Amino acid sequence: MIAAVDTDSPREVFFRVAAEMFADGNFNWGRVVALFYFASKLVLKALCTKVPELIRTIMGWTLEFLRDRLLGWIQEQGGWDDLLSYFGTPTWQTVTIFVAGVLTASLTIWKKMG
């Protein structure tokens, strides 16, 4: 699906896909995480296609969608703190894997932009 996203009209595609994720009215943390995953894949595509100016734009779209469509539900669930309880307390292994992923992504972005 990400490969089919045209870099000339990504806003339309982003909001269409994001809306479809929640179209049935069922909200859960898994779908919220899926929205972030989708946004991250678009960011990576922007980097790979040498359109880095889209990165901040995609982040803005994600925040706009969260604010307009998900913020009420997130607050009803207890806020972002509930996300941690949903996925459980992170162990040192989880934290290590997360940090390694962030470092790898940062290095990749740095190499592509430099």
The span from the CA of 7 to the CA of 9, in Å, is 6
Task: Please determine, for residue 90, whether its predicted confidence score (pLDDT) is greater than 70.
Answer: no
Question: Does the residue 100 lie in any domain?
Answer: no
Average pLDDT over residues 92-99: 70
Average pLDDT over residues 58-69: 93
CATH of the domain at 50: 1.10.437.10
φ and ψ at residue 35, rounded to 5 degrees: -60, -45
Average pLDDT, the chain: 81
pLDDT band, very low/low/confident/very high, at 62 (cuts 50, 70, 90)? very high
- Taking CA atoms, 93 is separated from 23, 37, 70, 97, 104, in Å, by 35, 21, 30, 6, 16
CB 25 within 8 A of CB 16: no
Q: What is the pLDDT of residues 1-54, one digit of tens each?
A: 555 555 556 788 899 999 999 999 999 988 998 999 898 888 888 888 877 788
Provide the domain count of the chain. 1
Question: Domain range spanning residue 21?
Answer: 2-89
pTM for this one?
0.68
